[in-house]
Amino acid sequence: MDMSASKEELAKFGYLTRDEELNYLQEVSDICIRNTKKYSDSEEKVLNFLHPEELSTKIDISLRRESSNPDEMKSILEKVFKFSVHTMSPNFYQQLFYWGDCWGIGGQWVAEILNTSAYTYEMSPVFTIMEKEVIKEALKLWNFPSTGEGYICHGGAQSMLFALNVARNQYYPQVKTKGASSMPNVDIYTSEEGHYSLEKSASIIGIGSESIVPVETDDLGIMKMDALKAAISKTLANGRVPFYINATAGTTVTDAYDPINEIANLCEKHRIWLNIDGAFGGSLIFSNKHRHLLKGAHRANSVVWDFHKMLGAPLPCSVLLLRESGQLKAAQGISVGYLFAGKKHYDVDYDLGNLSIQCGRKIDNFKVWMAWKARGSNGFEAHVDKLYENAEYFLNKIKSRDDFRLVFPKAEPRLKICFWYLPPWLQKKTLNEEDKKYLNAVTHKIKEVYVYEGLLYLATQPLKKHPFFFRIVIIDPRKGPRELDRVISIFSDIGSKLKKEDFNV
Amino acid sequence: MDMSASKEELAKFGYLTRDEELNYLQEVSDICIRNTKKYSDSEEKVLNFLHPEELSTKIDISLRRESSNPDEMKSILEKVFKFSVHTMSPNFYQQLFYWGDCWGIGGQWVAEILNTSAYTYEMSPVFTIMEKEVIKEALKLWNFPSTGEGYICHGGAQSMLFALNVARNQYYPQVKTKGASSMPNVDIYTSEEGHYSLEKSASIIGIGSESIVPVETDDLGIMKMDALKAAISKTLANGRVPFYINATAGTTVTDAYDPINEIANLCEKHRIWLNIDGAFGGSLIFSNKHRHLLKGAHRANSVVWDFHKMLGAPLPCSVLLLRESGQLKAAQGISVGYLFAGKKHYDVDYDLGNLSIQCGRKIDNFKVWMAWKARGSNGFEAHVDKLYENAEYFLNKIKSRDDFRLVFPKAEPRLKICFWYLPPWLQKKTLNEEDKKYLNAVTHKIKEVYVYEGLLYLATQPLKKHPFFFRIVIIDPRKGPRELDRVISIFSDIGSKLKKEDFNV
């Protein structure tokens, strides 16, 4: 079964025989499974935190002229597990993603070992028809015309970039060949809590970050319609063109939903492109109970929606939807003789690579397809509904205690909840400026303790003029009251020991 | 060990218990290993080709409201293997990548199950220090200043985009905020055989594809210096600015190397940014014997170099190198309070995410690091040298036969070899226009036969005015005379049966 090269020759290249390779991979899978089991235990550290210099002494990261053998490589993999963040831990609440489902992970293992690329049907027949199926079902779910199109992007930032680029090409097609100096000065609106990838996208595509108009938000992080209208008027008064509104469905820090339907009215009136950044919140589309937060979404020109965030598919896999076909190829395709054009033995409309700006492409669509196939739309619906139950549970707990305080007391249950822990000397009082300095320091101190001890992974955030606060992300439906209560005890165990005199503010 | 949710609750979300999840993954790894073993056999089909509509009847790709169970999912994975391209087959010669090494694949399995992102040190401490090590060693190898910097990109096209964007930011920093209308009209030079991702990049970043000046190449696909000089003069005469030269090291079709050192002289003279597209050919940097094809590369401003092409790391993982630090952050970074800025418990210079335009990022760097660690620079050197031996072997074989003809008779051994198969009635003669029509048809016919029968995966190409030809990519050092001879027999078995009267040209 092995090819020409002898075992000795293979060793010169650092290769094993095929049988040895497969044995090694079998052992790697054992390492994966054993360690995942271990770190799924809530008593294990969510991270063994070390500073970079220290970490470098624990793993021999140096690259050399000499090769390493399978045993050395396996021992490195064990250490990689030990010193990485254990997203499979019940104590992981920090990011907008988590250790989600084995369907996607299994799919990725298969995609990795097949080592193919999703740019032509020829190279990835199975994955190509699956991607088309995902897009077809997603268009249905979002109530987009069936004549729409879509693409599975390598992450939400790529979807955001492509959406903006497609919009530009629809309004100013000459830019593709002539450059951005051939278009008028345009303004792009997004809430001041909107994701930074929009600013990066505007910079890179040559519109310039100053074209981004951050629109004021209310206390909960929702874009104010008055502010948006005023911003559009200002654009017009300045002789610029209102071009693109990015409505955020689930902001990064507070999980706020912009009023899409009202924004759509404005877009229609002024012929502005409407993009929905539903990277996080787009998944509510599955839930009858919570879909109302996306009201009006079917009127958008484009939607960005990540399966790797709220729904737990392995990251990254982002779905970009467009209400009309042909827009991706028009904006991003070119004629490439050796790849997409010329005579082929099949229908080249199945070659998806020319919809993108990438050539080689990881099989990210398979994760979405596998997760959706395995869990069904019903599974995703139950998932979303359970998350809101958990959020309500945690919110009520926090409200009922003197040692916790909500950053936004009027917040309804959302999947990110922002709060402070108040040590005894700050409880039951309105905080003055000095208190806020203490609170800031307390937040940093508590995080430092739980991170160094590996008890919990939960982010701290700045926002507007507030002292740094904690933000818990509630997206794993496997967790429930038991895990959420544990979070509260970890805080109170650490926090109740803090003394005012330990802080130098 | 499992969390709050009961088995019944989990089933509603489409989740398994943690133990069941790990059992499932164990079985997935068995499927991977068993199928890889099977399709590593040269007697197995390299692809079971089906047209899209037919393939859709073999796998139930429909997405529904209902969930599927583990057995159904495993049966799908078996079919995914059956109907995908078997890159592990000894008969796979089509793409610039192949089923390379188990080190990278094992690394990816670990990265997938850890499900983390490489944007902050906090989320990926181990992978962050490894990425820094890869960049450090790569800078050394390319003889770049140690004060340079780099980034592991998600594929060569992303590296190409970032290199162009960084160059623009160095020359015209105001574009980041003010947009591309604030810069002069610039020209970008690349050989007419250069990769299309440069054109896509120029379009997307708002410089416009018309700024791309395709420079004439010689018979072998090498950029002509006279033509380049003339192009620069024309730019100046037109009142435009010569901005960027992309020197290709290893063109896609003919594996040509542009004369980097001479190009660097021109770049110095005119203050033009020099980028090397070494996506394919950059790997020669490891070989004492073949590095001369990259002479002058250390003078470049940026280098694009893919580990997933010639060296066999799982795709995609591309190394972008820059000769000066701070350029990536200057071009692509912004201040993001909740993520990269603010007080943290470690040195935030380790947060690599802000060098990119992406937020979430796959752990691609681990594949590079694993492959390099396992195989050592010596392994890569032996690998490259062996490829050239194979290329020489194949080239000589082709030359010695009447039924094969080289597209470029004067070609030296390169890792892509372009040839025709000549049926009896076309052998030993100078081809006239009618003959060329036959040859075109013969090429398509032969490919159709070997693809449908799953005997071989080897691309056909158009180029300039030539009839379509075959291009073999010689990048797997495990293959040798035995496999290359087999390729030749497959051609002559199919081709010798062709009859002139079967073609209607």
Q: Give the one of B47, B61, B448 whose C-beta lies nearest to A130's C-beta.
A: B61
Residues of A in contact with B372 (CB under 8 A): 63
Q: Across the interface, do A379 and B13 touch by the CB < 8 Å criterion?
A: yes
In Å, the largest CA–CA distance within chain A is 78
Query: Domain check: are A399 and A318 in the same one?
Result: no
In this structure, are residues B478 and A2 in contact, taking their beta carbons and an 8 Å threshold?
yes
Nearest Cα of chain B lies from the Cα of A166 at a distance, in angstroms, of 10
**Dihedral pair phi/psi, residue A267, rounded to 5°:** -60, -45
Nearest Cα of chain A lies from the Cα of B300 at a distance, in angstroms, of 22
H-run or E-run covering B419: strand B416-421
Nearest Cα of chain A lies from the Cα of B203 at a distance, in angstroms, of 5
DSSP string computed for A341-402? SS--SS-GGG-GGGGSS-SS----HHHHHHHHHHHHHHHHHHHHHHHHHHHHHHHHHHHT-S
Q: Across the interface, do A373 and B68 touch by the CB < 8 Å criterion?
A: yes
Q: Give the one of A12, A200, A444 whose C-beta lies nearest to B382's C-beta.
A: A12
Q: Across the interface, do A109 and B332 touch by the CB < 8 Å criterion?
A: no
Alpha carbon A395 to its chain centroid, in Å, reads 23
Residue B338 confidence (pLDDT): 58
Q: Of A362, A396, A429, which residue is a domain's last?
A: A362
Query: Domain check: are B188 and B329 in the same one?
Result: yes
Has residue A460 got a pLDDT over 90? Answer: yes
Residues of B in contact with A125 (CB under 8 A): 47, 49-50, 52, 55, 83-85
pLDDT, tens digit, 9 for 90 and up, residues A263-309: 999 999 999 999 999 999 999 999 999 999 999 999 999 999 999 99
Give the separation between CA A76 and CA B234, rounded to whole angstroms. Answer: 55
Mean pLDDT of A192-196: 95
Print burial letters for B164-196: b (CB count within 10 Å at least 16), e (below 16): bbbbbbbbbeebbebbbbbbebbbbbbbbbbbb
Q: What is the CA radius of gyration of chain B?
A: 25
Q: At what angle do helices B102-114 and B365-399 cross, to 10 degrees?
A: 150
Query: Domain check: are B155 and B293 in the same one?
Result: yes
Residues of B in contact with A32 (CB under 8 A): 25, 109-110, 113
**Dihedral pair phi/psi, residue A472, rounded to 5°:** -95, 140
B287: number of Cβ within 10 Å: 20
Has residue A140 got a pLDDT over 80? Answer: yes
Give the separation between CA B160 and CA B163, rounded to whole angstroms. Answer: 5
* Residue from A21, A255, A277, A469 to probe the interface with B (highest B Cβ count within 10 Å): A21
Q: Across the interface, do B63 and A382 touch by the CB < 8 Å criterion?
A: no
Give the separation between CA B109 and CA B112, rounded to whole angstroms. Answer: 5
Q: Give the one of B154, B175, B197 whose C-beta lies nearest to A206's C-beta.
A: B175
Q: Across the interface, do B36 and A22 touch by the CB < 8 Å criterion?
A: yes
Say if B271 falls within a structural domain. yes
Query: Domain check: are B327 and B432 in the same one?
Result: no
Q: CA dihedral in degrees (B307, B310, B313, B314; nearest 10)? A: 100
Has residue A2 got a pLDDT over 90? Answer: no
Query: Domain check: are B394 and B453 in the same one?
Result: yes
Say if B71 falls within a structural domain. yes
Total domains in the fold of chain A: 2
Residue A237 confidence (pLDDT): 98
Has residue A339 got a pLDDT over 60? Answer: no
Residues of A in contact with B203 (CB under 8 A): 175-177, 332, 334
Say if B217 falls within a structural domain. yes
Task: Tell me how many degrees the CA angle B139-B140-B144 measures, rounded to the nearest 5.
Answer: 55
Q: Across the interface, do A15 and B477 touch by the CB < 8 Å criterion?
A: yes
* Residue from B58, B79, B96, B110 to probe the interface with A (highest A Cβ count within 10 Å): B110
Query: Domain check: are B185 and B311 in the same one?
Result: yes
Q: Across the interface, do A197 and B357 touch by the CB < 8 Å criterion?
A: yes
Q: Give the one of A22, A106, A121 whose C-beta lies nearest to B24's C-beta.
A: A106
Q: Give the one of B4, B161, B314 whose C-beta lies nearest to A115's C-beta.
A: B314
H-run or E-run covering B35: helix B18-39
Say if A84 falls within a structural domain. no
Residues of B in contact with A109 (CB under 8 A): 25, 28-29, 32, 109, 112
Residues of B in contact with A317 (CB under 8 A): none
Q: Give the one of A12, A36, A50 whose C-beta lies nearest to B125's C-beta.
A: A50
Nearest Cα of chain A lies from the Cα of B160 at a distance, in angstroms, of 10
Residue A338 confidence (pLDDT): 58
Q: Which two tokens stand for residue A20?
A: 């040895």
Query: Domain check: are A335 and A407 in the same one?
Result: no
Say if B238 falls within a structural domain. yes
Say if B419 falls within a structural domain. yes
Mean pLDDT of A382-403: 97
Give the separation between CA A487 and CA B212, rounded to whole angstroms. Answer: 56
Question: A101 to chain B: nearest residue by CA?
Answer: B15
Residue entry with tokens 């470690």: B346
Contacts 24+ apart (CB under 8 A), B390-393: B390/B474, B390/B477, B390/B479, B390/B480, B390/B484, B391/B415, B391/B417, B391/B474, B393/B480, B393/B481, B393/B484
Residues of B in contact with A188 (CB under 8 A): none
Q: Across the interface, do B177 and A41 touch by the CB < 8 Å criterion?
A: no
Instruction: CATH number of the domain at A465, please.
Output: 3.90.1150.170
Residue A5 confidence (pLDDT): 94
Pairing of strands B149-153, A318-322: unpaired
Q: Of A362, A377, A402, which residue is a domain's last?
A: A362
Q: Across the interface, do A13 and B375 touch by the CB < 8 Å criterion?
A: yes
Query: Domain check: are B406 and B480 in the same one?
Result: yes
Instruction: CATH number of the domain at B244, please.
Output: 3.40.640.10
Q: Across the interface, do A332 and B200 touch by the CB < 8 Å criterion?
A: yes
Pairing of strands A318-322, A302-306: antiparallel
Q: Across the interface, do A103 and B65 touch by the CB < 8 Å criterion?
A: no
Query: Domain check: are B225 and B325 in the same one?
Result: yes
Q: For chain B, how many residues are written?
A: 505
Q: What is the CA radius of gyration of chain A?
A: 25
Query: Domain check: are A214 and A352 in the same one?
Result: yes
How confident is the prediction for chain A on average, in pLDDT?
A: 95
Question: B134 to chain A: nearest residue by CA?
Answer: A63
- The amino acid sitting at B324 is E
What tens-digit pLDDT sequence spans chain B (505 residues)?
Answer: 568 899 999 999 999 999 999 999 999 999 999 999 999 999 999 999 999 999 999 999 999 999 999 999 999 999 999 999 999 999 999 999 999 999 999 999 999 999 999 889 999 999 999 999 999 999 999 999 999 999 999 999 999 999 999 999 999 999 999 999 999 999 999 999 999 999 999 999 999 999 999 999 999 999 999 999 999 999 999 999 999 999 999 999 999 999 999 999 999 999 999 999 999 999 999 999 999 999 999 999 999 999 999 999 999 999 999 999 999 999 999 876 655 555 677 888 888 888 999 888 889 899 999 999 999 999 999 999 999 999 999 999 999 999 999 999 998 999 999 999 999 999 999 999 999 999 999 999 999 999 999 999 999 998 888 999 999 999 999 999 999 999 999 999 999 999 999 998 8
Residue A334 confidence (pLDDT): 87
Task: Tell me how many degrees the CA angle A470-A473-A475 measures, rounded to the nearest 5.
Answer: 170
Residues of B in contact with A177 (CB under 8 A): 203, 208-210
Residue B336 confidence (pLDDT): 67
Nearest Cα of chain A lies from the Cα of B243 at a distance, in angstroms, of 15
Give the separation between CA A265 and CA A262, rounded to whole angstroms. Answer: 5
Strand partners, B171: none
Question: A130 versus B361: which is more confidently predicted?
Answer: A130
Say if B276 falls within a structural domain. yes
B72: number of Cβ within 10 Å: 12
Q: Which two tokens stand for residue A71?
A: 């045993």
Query: Domain check: are B159 and B258 in the same one?
Result: yes
Q: At what angle do helices A102-114 and B18-39 cross, to 10 degrees?
A: 20
Residues of A in contact with B172 (CB under 8 A): none
Q: Across the interface, do B114 and A85 touch by the CB < 8 Å criterion?
A: yes
Residue B418 confidence (pLDDT): 97
Query: Domain check: are A393 and A357 in the same one?
Result: no
C-alpha distances (whole Å) from A500 to each of A186, A273, A374, A434, A435 are: 52, 52, 52, 12, 10
Q: Of B70, B89, B108, which residue is a domain's last?
A: B89
* Residue from A109, A174, A255, A354 to probe the interface with B (highest B Cβ count within 10 Å): A109
- For the question of an ipTM over 0.90, the answer is yes
CA-wise closest residue to B76 among A350, A383, A129: A129
Pairing of strands B241-248, B273-277: parallel
Residues of B in contact with A201 (CB under 8 A): 357
Q: Give the one of A155, A207, A444 whose C-beta lies nearest to B206's C-beta.
A: A207
Q: Across the interface, do A126 and B334 touch by the CB < 8 Å criterion?
A: no
Comparing A15-19, A336-340, A467-471, B151-155, the range with the smallest average pLDDT is A336-340
Q: Across the interface, do B28 and A109 touch by the CB < 8 Å criterion?
A: yes
Determine the structural domain holding residue B60 and report its residue range. 7-89
Residues 6 or more apart whose Cβ sits within 8 Å of residue A392: A413
Residues of B in contact with A482 (CB under 8 A): 3-4
Say if B362 falls within a structural domain. no
Q: Which two tokens stand for residue B93?
A: 């010669």
Nearest Cα of chain B lies from the Cα of A61 at a distance, in angstroms, of 6
Q: Give the one of A85, A210, A350 whose C-beta lies nearest to B123's C-beta.
A: A85
In this structure, are residues B363 and B111 in contact, taking their beta carbons and an 8 Å threshold?
yes
Can you count the helices (H) and strands (E) in chain A?
A: 15, 11
Residue B337 confidence (pLDDT): 60
Residues 6 or more apart whose Cβ sits within 8 Å of residue A496: A403, A423, A424
Nearest Cα of chain A lies from the Cα of B355 at a distance, in angstroms, of 11
Question: Alpha helices, DSSP H only, in B142-259?
Answer: 156-171, 175-178, 197-204, 225-237
Residues of A in contact with B199 (CB under 8 A): 334
* Residue from A251, A287, A478 to probe the interface with B (highest B Cβ count within 10 Å): A478
Has residue A485 got a pLDDT over 90? Answer: yes
Give the separation between CA A14 and CA A70, rounded to whole angstroms. Answer: 10
Nearest Cα of chain A lies from the Cα of B337 at a distance, in angstroms, of 6
Mean pLDDT of A186-207: 97
Q: Across the interface, do B63 and A372 touch by the CB < 8 Å criterion?
A: yes
